[in-house]
Each structure stands twice: as structure tokens, then as C-alpha cells.
A = this chain, B = another copy of it.
Amino acid sequence: MTMITLLTDFGTRDGYVGVMRGVIWGIAPEVRVADLSHEIGAQNVLEAALTLGRSFHFFPAGTIHLAVIDPGVGTSRRPIAAAIGPYYFVGPDNGLFTPMLERAEAINWAVKVVKLDQPRYWLPEVSKSFHGRDIFAPVAAHLAAGVPLESLGTLIDDYVRLRIPRPVKTGQGWHSQVIQVDHFGNLATNLEKDMLLSQSVDIWINSQRISRLVQAYGDAKAGELVAMFDSANHLSICVVNSSAAELLKASAGDAVEVIYRKKTGQL
């Protein structure tokens, strides 16, 4: 029983996502379809890549992740499908799958990418502006129905890679940045737990210092500004039961300085 996930910047008002489900179920009626998000910022490939990067591995092996954030639709940008470790990915060749490719390199997963060039696996008519419906949904459905990746297109290895912002070591700690503002206003940075030599740190964002790193929201009082490691093990800045994004007027891309505290007596 295969699963397909959907990740787009389409919103949910116009019926575009529903139509993709219709196309999928017309080809592979048994497949389970889960929405990952349809509220990615319009044309924000990086946001989509990061969302997929922190989510894809919680799905069963064999899951097909279909992502359509596609500012180049209708141009010469290539449609692709990929097998990365035990997962499949389908979407435009614009860097969307970079976090998974990086993970594959880190843990030695096999990677295979094909340029989609077999129109017999697409809808009969292909529009210039909705390849999610006309190319990507049918290709994902055919994959789910058992068509091998190699039959869907031609192997390539010059697929587009995105520059994912990485934290940079400084003399005193790390220079990192906000990579996600979530629904609760929590600010996730790109600094991961195991990068820190010590958790005795001061954290600076938008001229505000945060000195308290807690284990859980409940360790602080409602309204308190704290840092903690989030459910993806990233350093995150939060206001308990409220929005750090609002309090700090912060957004994705904002700089976050993390500075190791000197030991007492070293002053």
C-alpha cells in the first residue's frame, strides 16, 4: 500500500490540490494521499525544501513525495523524479530535493534521478502552467502503481542543487539564522543540537538576548522568551504559549548569534 504526499504553494481555495488527487486516484485508486502543506510561500523553493527535509523520513519506506513549487513551469526547467534511499520524489528540477540529497551523501544512500521525458505517463494534454496536474501527479501515480523509475525518464546527474543556508563557526560560538517560523510563531534556526559544545550559551536575535535554554515549554512560564531544541533537534526561539515571531518581529533569514558563556571567574 503506497503513500503519496503533496507539498505545494497552491493554497487550498481553488481546487488545484483536489484535482491532483483526482488525477492520482484515476491512475492508482488504492494509493493513500497525505497533504504535507499547501501554504508554502508562493515560489518559495527553499521553504518547501526545508519543510520536506524535516518531514520526509517520518513516512513509511516507499513513500512518494510529490512537491510542486514551480516558478519555472512551462519553461525549459526539467521535470524530474528521484529515488533517494528508500523514498521517491517527483517535481520540478529546481533544487527542491536538496536536503534529501545531502542526507543521502551523509549516510550513503543510493541516489537515482531521471528527467521525465515519457509523455505516455502524463495527461494527454499538458498545459503551460499546471504541471502538478498534467505531469507530476500522473507520474507519481504511475510510480505508486508499480512503473519503475527508469521507465519514466532518462537518468541524469546534473540536477539543480539549492544553496541551503548553514550555520558558520565564529570565535565565540555560531552565526546561525532563522530557517522556519512555524504556526505558533516559534523561530527554528539552522543550528543543530549536536553542533553545540556546551549548552551554556547566550543567544542574540534582533538586539535581544536570550539566556535561558529550557528542555520543554513547561519549564518556563507563559509569556517567557526562551530557547529550546525543537522536535527536529534544531535550536529554536520560543515564547511559551505565545509567538516569538511577533514579540521579536522576526522572520525567516534573520541572523541568530550563539555565544558560549565564559566560565565563572574567567572575567
Residues of A at under 8 Å CB distance from B?
1, 3, 5, 7, 10-19, 21-23, 25-26, 29-30, 32-40, 42-43, 51-52, 54-55, 58-60, 63, 71-77, 127-130, 133-134, 180, 182-184, 215-219, 228-231, 233, 241
B219 close to A75 (CB less than 8 A): yes
B230 close to A129 (CB less than 8 A): yes
A216 close to B37 (CB less than 8 A): no
14 new A-B pairs (CB below 8 Å) besides A1-B30, A22-B60, A128-B229? A5-B22, A13-B39, A15-B37, A15-B52, A15-B55, A18-B34, A18-B36, A18-B37, A22-B34, A22-B55, A23-B58, A72-B217, A129-B217, A129-B231
Point out the residues of chain B lying under 8 angstroms from A241, CB to CB.
42-43, 71
B42 close to A22 (CB less than 8 A): no
16 A-B contacts, Cβ less than 8 Å apart?
Answer: A11-B183, A12-B12, A12-B35, A13-B182, A14-B180, A18-B35, A19-B55, A22-B59, A22-B60, A25-B59, A29-B60, A42-B183, A43-B241, A73-B216, A77-B218, A129-B216
Interface residue SS majority, chain A: loop
Given contacts A22-B59, A25-B60, A63-B22, contact A217 B15 (CB under 8 A): no
Given contacts A14-B183, A42-B184, A228-B128, contact A58 B22 (CB under 8 A): yes
